[in-house]
């Protein structure tokens, strides 16, 4: 029989070890970071390219960091809503943001101010832009035919992509300018609607990254006509590159993460390191290959990513001014 | 036939049945609780399905999806707080019916019609999926505009208030729908520099405010009288065969409309339920009774939204294009297993497709039970005195508004609409036109402007296309007829007072 005293001691021991196990669950980062779940904010809807990217990266990242990671989708207002939410949280590394090209464009348009608000974490992917047409399109089936047709019929060819003043519109307008053609851009608020518009033959050319329409390409319901890259893709060797066609545009959507400015540097470095490991994990690599996201080197560390923001901001500013969105 | 055997084997295994039934129950619960919905539920479940085999995981997601589409109507009927956007319209007639002491009947109609709508659309999808996908793709912007316009004209026929008042409220709703970033040019509109409005006014936030908060304020003003009116016992009461036969055309029409709208990419169950309600009003012999708590007003949206849930799976499975927010999440469920939904998957893995079809049949039938169970659970809350329940609904409404996009500004917008709803109720303005205009205003504006850009600003193109032309013509004709008959037979409807409880 245990004495009362012993019983008491044992239970104190049990309770304290229990408390130790569950509350003082300090991480192995700086100052015990992370000790509670981390939230990742995505400004796009669940199931889209960016959402898939974040969820697939955060699954291995949660294991590496040893805490839960919750992904929150906060759509609307070209990402401004999500940005404001992240900025309303403390700069402690427990809120991570899926920083996208929209934030730079929003800064150009005066809706946000990225350099004052966010600190770069890592860039993980460098995606590619491609144009697609419907196989039943009688006017053109290749990029050359498209350019020739557009020259003969100025303003008739209709392009589609997601939302106005988006990276999609910028690429389309840069392409039109480089090819010397005049086209129309009809944006949709959600990517699937733009796919359907081209599949249904209502619009002529779709801008999209290949990962989200790969099944439609394989089924020959969408014909890729150009890839904005310097070399052809192994998967689609018959599709010419922009460089081959004399159009010097190879930019594409990049995907990466940021935190609120003012987050302690040790935490930024620690997170960057953990995310690197997550990106190298088997499960993430598998997803990346399946979605054709491994075609170009996409990794950038915090410092490099920050420099890249600056360059991209300047480039977007010039393009948007040229296109007449900024006076 | 062999495919069906495999599907049967997949679906009727004990484990899969457990997941399907559990999934439906979970979906109904999530749907019923404001602030949680099936989109969120499926997103949360996806990491778990990673540990299952692909078929079981997808069956679970499909079950949660089916259940979640119905669940919201329980809280819409019992408390006038729709638990999910799909159930918004159900409260228009469901809550007045519950207030009149027939909550059990309202729930019974909602559950049964959901089941019928769901089964109808799965059946259609199962039989002619590829053909349906073609129909979906033939819809372009003019057709979308025609659909939204047709539903908007029905504001004139909605009962419960004077027509001029309904129009006034409808136009205010359309104006509010323009708040936010311009869908075509990206310019900010009517935000007054406040970032809370940059994403526009979410209609569900407005709806919770105008209905739930408005109702609480109104009841609080009346004092404790309401406590006496509370019915203590609510048990789900399925409609009799005779009652269902009266609803047959309405249910059939709604099932067809729901399935059709469901297959359109990017327009989901919520829009479907609004259009279904509008059409029920259009073809009804007594349109003025809608909004006062009639069976038709519950049957139409409930059949529609569940039919749309099935319909939304069509473009997902055949083209890889999600028809709604939840199906967009379900794509993620395919992808964690290395599957890419779309035409290739349909050809390569037909057994998986048929298993999903079969699971949706089973889910829709099991919904009858899950619905009754959860409704019973939730109706317990009605035993609580309103002086306690009111504040509880207040809290639920606040959490619900916050939960939509985790943003505090939505909560402030909701309170603003709560005050607006209170003032409107007090001066006998119906709230329903405001919500209808808010939901459909965005779709109408976008599709009109996009269509105009596509057709080089030629409005005739909208009328010369067969589908959009027909819909617009019918809408215009019934609209003019309504105006004419109201002015001729009941001139007081246009100008005078109507002695009917407002929505």
Ordered mean pLDDT values, 10 residues apiece, chain A (327 residues): 57 52 62 90 80 89 91 79 87 95 93 94 95 96 97 95 90 93 90 90 95 88 95 92 93 94 96 96 88 88 96 91 82
Q: Is B223 on the interface with A (CB under 8 A)?
A: no
Q: How many beta-carbon pairs below 8 A join chains A and B?
A: 145
Q: Is A197 on the interface with B (CB under 8 A)?
A: yes
Contact A77 B321 (CB under 8 A): no
What is the side-by-side strand order in the sheet with A205-208? A184-188, A158-162, A205-208, A130-133, A223-227
Ordered mean pLDDT values, 10 residues apiece, chain B (503 residues): 86 93 94 81 79 90 93 91 88 91 93 96 88 87 92 75 84 94 84 84 88 87 59 77 91 95 85 92 87 93 94 86 80 79 82 92 95 91 81 87 80 95 90 89 92 91 92 90 75 45 43
Q: Give the separation between CA A16 and CA A10, rounded to whole angstroms.
A: 10
Q: Give the separation between CA B254 and CA B277, rounded to whole angstroms.
A: 8
Locus of tokens 């920083």: A99
Q: Is A215 on the interface with B (CB under 8 A)?
A: yes
Q: Is B321 on the interface with A (CB under 8 A)?
A: yes
Q: Which residues share a beta bridge with A224?
A: A132
**Maximum distance among all alpha carbons in chain B?**
66
- Residue A163: the pLDDT is 86
Please say whether the beta carbons of B280 and B253 come within 8 A.
yes
Locus of tokens 């088997």: A282
Dihedral of CA B49/B51/B54/B60: which sign? Answer: negative
Contact A215 B180 (CB under 8 A): no
CA distances for A113 relative to A40, A83, A260, angstroms:
20, 10, 12
> Judged by CB atoms within 8 Å, which residues 79-98 of A form the interface with B?
80-81, 84-85, 88
Q: Give the separation between CA B268 and CA B184, rounded to whole angstroms.
A: 21
How deeply is A297 buried, as exposed, middle or buried, from its count of CB atoms within 10 A (0-12, 13-18, 19+)?
Answer: exposed
- B468 vs A contacts (CB less than 8 Å): none
- Name the minimum distance, in Å, from the CA of A125 to any CA of chain B: 18
- Residue B218: the pLDDT is 87
pTM of structure: 0.84
Q: Is A135 on the interface with B (CB under 8 A)?
A: no
- Which of A215, A220, A281 best probes binding to B when mutated, by most B CB atoms within 10 angstroms? A215
Q: Give the separation between CA B232 and CA B156, rounded to whole angstroms.
A: 37
Q: Give the separation between CA A233 and CA A211, rounded to whole angstroms.
A: 13
Contact A215 B140 (CB under 8 A): no
Contact B332 A109 (CB under 8 A): no
- Residue A281: the pLDDT is 94
Contact A158 B454 (CB under 8 A): yes
> Judged by CB atoms within 8 Å, which residues 450-489 of B form the interface with A?
450, 453-454
Nearest CA in chain B to A289: B338
- Residue B100 per-residue DSSP state: I
Q: Give the separation between CA A198 and CA A160, rounded to whole angstroms.
A: 8
Q: Give the separation between CA B428 and CA B347, rounded to whole angstroms.
A: 57
**A71: region left, alpha or beta (phi > 0 left; psi from -120 to 50 alpha):** beta
CB atoms within 10 A of CB B410: 26
Domains of chain A listed by start with CATH number: 29-127+254-323 (3.40.190.150), 130-227 (3.40.190.10)
Q: Is B343 on the interface with A (CB under 8 A)?
A: yes
- A78 vs B contacts (CB less than 8 Å): 181, 186, 198
Backbone angles phi, psi at A181, to 5 degrees: -120, 165
- Which of B36, B65, B195 best probes binding to A when mutated, by most A CB atoms within 10 angstroms? B195
Q: How many CA atoms lie within 13 A of A118 on its CB side?
A: 31
- Name the minimum distance, in Å, from the CA of A254 to any CA of chain B: 20
- Name the minimum distance, in Å, from the CA of A186 to any CA of chain B: 6
Residues near B128 by Cβ (< 8 Å), separated by ≥ 6?
none
Q: Is A141 on the interface with B (CB under 8 A)?
A: no
DSSP A182-222: --EEEEESSHHHHHHHHHTTSSSEEEE-GGGGHHHHHTTSS
CB atoms within 10 A of CB A198: 27
Nearest CA in chain B to A203: B454
- Residue A309: the pLDDT is 96
Please say whether the beta carbons of A160 and A185 come within 8 A.
yes
Please say whether the beta carbons of B82 and B88 come within 8 A.
yes
Q: Give the separation between CA B289 and CA B281, rounded to whole angstroms.
A: 9
Contact A290 B338 (CB under 8 A): yes
Residues near B282 by Cβ (< 8 Å), separated by ≥ 6?
B154, B157, B478
- Name the minimum distance, in Å, from the CA of A165 to any CA of chain B: 6
CB atoms within 10 A of CB B26: 22
Tokens representing B378?
């939730």
CB atoms within 10 A of CB A140: 18
Q: Is B325 on the interface with A (CB under 8 A)?
A: yes
Contact A47 B185 (CB under 8 A): no
- B319 vs A contacts (CB less than 8 Å): 195-196, 199, 216, 221
Q: How many CA atoms lie within 13 A of B152 on its CB side?
A: 25
**Maximum distance among all alpha carbons in chain A?**
99
CA distances for A301 relative to A163, A306, B342, angstroms:
29, 8, 36
Nearest CA in chain A to B42: A46
CA dihedral B341, B342, B344, B347 (to 10 degrees): 90
- Name the minimum distance, in Å, from the CA of B448 to any CA of chain A: 12
Locus of tokens 């039919």: B307
Contact A46 B182 (CB under 8 A): no
Q: Give the separation between CA A286 and CA A284, rounded to whole angstroms.
A: 5
- Residue B496: the pLDDT is 41
- Residue B172: the pLDDT is 94
Q: Three-class SS of residue B32?
A: helix
- Picking from B199, B266, B335, the nearest residue to A77 by CB comes out as B199
B179-205 residue pLDDT tens = 988 888 878 899 898 878 888 898 888
Q: Is A282 on the interface with B (CB under 8 A)?
A: no
Nearest CA in chain B to A159: B454
Q: Give the separation between CA B333 and CA B319, rounded to whole angstroms.
A: 16
Please say whether the beta carbons of A134 and A146 come within 8 A.
no
């Amino acid at each position: 029989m245990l004495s009362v005293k012993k019983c008491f001691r044992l239970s104190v021991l049990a309770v304290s070890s229990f408390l130790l196990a569950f509350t003082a669950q300090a991480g192995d980062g700086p100052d015990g970071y992370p000790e509670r779940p981390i939230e990742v904010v995505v400004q796009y809807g669940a199931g889209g390219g960016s959402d898939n990217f974040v969820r697939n990266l955060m699954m291995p990242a949660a294991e590496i960091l040893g805490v839960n990671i919750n992904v929150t989708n906060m759509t609307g207002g070209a990402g401004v809503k999500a940005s404001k939410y992240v900025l309303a949280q403390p700069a402690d590394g427990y809120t991570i943001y899926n920083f996208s090209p929209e934030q730079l464009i929003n800064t150009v348009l005066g809706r946000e101010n990225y350099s004052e608000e966010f600190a770069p974490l890592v860039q993980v992917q460098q995606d590619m832009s491609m144009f697609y047409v419907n196989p039943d399109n009688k006017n053109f089936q290749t990029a050359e035919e498209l350019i020739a047709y557009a020259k003969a019929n100025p303003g008739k060819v209709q392009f589609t992509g997601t939302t106005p003043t988006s990276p999609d519109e910028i690429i389309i307008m840069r392409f039109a300018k480089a090819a010397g053609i005049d086209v129309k851009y009809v944006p949709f608020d959600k990517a699937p609607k733009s796919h359907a518009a081209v599949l249904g033959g209502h619009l002529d050319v779709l801008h999209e990254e290949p990962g989200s329409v790969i099944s439609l390409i394989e089924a020959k319901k969408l014909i890729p006509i150009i890839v904005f890259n310097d070399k052809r893709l192994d998967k689609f060797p018959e599709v010419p590159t922009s460089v081959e066609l004399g159009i010097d545009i190879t930019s594409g959507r990049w995907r990466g993460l940021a935190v609120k400015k003012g987050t302690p540097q040790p935490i930024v470095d620690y997170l960057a390191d953990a995310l690197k490991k997550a990106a190298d994990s088997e499960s993430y690599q598998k997803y990346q290959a399946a979605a054709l996201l491994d075609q170009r080197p996409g990794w950038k560390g915090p410092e490099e990513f920050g420099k890249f923001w600056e360059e991209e901001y300047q480039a977007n500013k010039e393009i948007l001014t040229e296109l007449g969105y900024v006076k | 036939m062999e495919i069906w055997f495999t599907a049967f084997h997949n679906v009727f295994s004990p484990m899969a049945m457990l997941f399907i039934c559990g999934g439906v129950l979970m979906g109904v619960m999530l749907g019923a609780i404001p602030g949680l919905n099936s989109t969120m539920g499926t997103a949360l479940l996806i990491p778990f399905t990673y540990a299952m085999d692909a078929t079981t995981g997808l069956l679970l997601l499909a079950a949660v999806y089916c259940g979640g589409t119905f669940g919201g109507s329980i809280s819409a009927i019992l408390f006038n707080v729709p638990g999910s956007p799909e159930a918004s319209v159900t409260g228009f007639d469901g809550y007045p019916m519950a207030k009149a002491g027939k909550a059990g009947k309202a729930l019974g109609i909602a559950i049964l019609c959901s089941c019928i709508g769901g089964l109808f659309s799965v059946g259609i999808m199962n039989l002619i999926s590829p053909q349906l996908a073609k129909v979906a793709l033939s819809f372009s912007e003019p057709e979308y505009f025609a659909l939204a316009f047709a539903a908007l004209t029905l504001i004139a026929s909605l009962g419960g208030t004077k027509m001029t008042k309904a129009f006034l409220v409808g136009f205010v709703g359309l104006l509010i729908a323009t708040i936010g970033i311009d869908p075509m040019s990206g310019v900010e509109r009517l935000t007054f520099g406040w970032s809370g409005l940059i994403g526009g006014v979410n209609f569900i936030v407005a709806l919770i405010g105008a209905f739930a908060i408005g109702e609480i304020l109104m009841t609080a003003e009346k004092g404790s009288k309401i406590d006496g009116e509370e019915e203590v016992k609510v048990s789900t009461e399925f409609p009799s065969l005779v009652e269902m036969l009266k609803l047959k055309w309405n249910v059939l029409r709604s099932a067809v409309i729901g399935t059709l709208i469901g297959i359109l990419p990017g327009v989901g169950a919520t829009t479907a339920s609004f259009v279904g309600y509008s059409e029920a009003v259009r073809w009804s012999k007594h349109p003025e009774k809608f909004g006062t708590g009639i069976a038709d007003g519950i049957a139409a949206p409930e059949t529609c939204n569940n039919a749309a849930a099935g319909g939304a799976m069509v473009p997902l499975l055949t083209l890889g294009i999600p028809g709604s927010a939840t199906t967009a999440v379900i794509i993620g469920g395919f992808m964690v297993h290395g599957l890419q939904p779309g035409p290739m998957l349909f050809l390569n893995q037909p057994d998986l497709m048929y298993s999903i079809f079969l699971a949706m049949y089973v889910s829709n039938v099991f919904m009858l039970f899950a619905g009754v169970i959860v409704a019973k659970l939730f109706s317990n809350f009605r035993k609580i005195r309103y002086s306690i329940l009111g504040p509880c609904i207040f809290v639920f409404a606040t959490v619900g508004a916050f939960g939509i996009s985790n943003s505090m500004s939505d909560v402030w917008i909701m309170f603003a609409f709560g005050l607006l709803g209170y003032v409107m109720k007090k001066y006998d303005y119906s709230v329903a036109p405001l919500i209808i205009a808010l939901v459909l205003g965005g779709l109408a504006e976008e599709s009109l402007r996009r269509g105009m850009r596509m057709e080089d600003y030629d409005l005739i193109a909208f009328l010369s296309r067969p589908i959009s032309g027909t819909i617009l013509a019918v809408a215009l004709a019934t609209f003019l007829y309504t105006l004419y008959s109201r002015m001729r037979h009941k001139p007081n409807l246009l100008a005078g007072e109507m002695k009917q409880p407002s929505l």
